[in-house]
């Protein structure tokens, strides 16, 4: 099992087991840590779990601009969600 898989499962668990979608379980800190940890790891560049983590992170921080979203999509355009 890879570290990303462990983080992804833990984030999902926190969302399910803490009130308000994991926000009270410091879900934003987990998402931020995961996003930073794997950002330069080429193994996860087009991993659907990683982009889902970014989407969750972005959805909590509602200040993300259109251009940031386009950059994310272009970075992960090989993932079936965006094809």
CATH topology of domain 3-82: 1.25.40
The tokens 């983080």 sit on which residue? 7
Per-residue pLDDT at 8 exceeds 60? yes
Are 11 and 27 in contact, with CB atoms under 8 Å apart? yes
Span between the terminal Cα atoms of the chain, in Å: 27
pTM surpassing 0.85?
no
Query: pLDDT tens-digit profile of 9-40?
Result: 999 888 888 876 555 668 888 888 888 888 88
Annotated domain spans of the chain: 3-82
Instruction: Show the 3-state SS of 26-45.
Output: CHHHHHHHHHHHHCCCHHHC
């Amino acid at each position: 099992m890879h570290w990303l898989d462990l983080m992804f499962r833990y984030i999902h668990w926190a969302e399910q087991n803490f009130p308000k979608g994991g926000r009270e379980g410091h879900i934003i800190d987990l998402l931020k840590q995961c996003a930073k940890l794997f950002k330069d790891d080429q193994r996860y560049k087009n991993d659907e779990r990683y982009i889902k983590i970014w989407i969750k992170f972005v959805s909590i921080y509602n200040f993300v601009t259109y251009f940031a979203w386009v950059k994310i999509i272009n970075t992960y355009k090989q993932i079936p969600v965006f094809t």
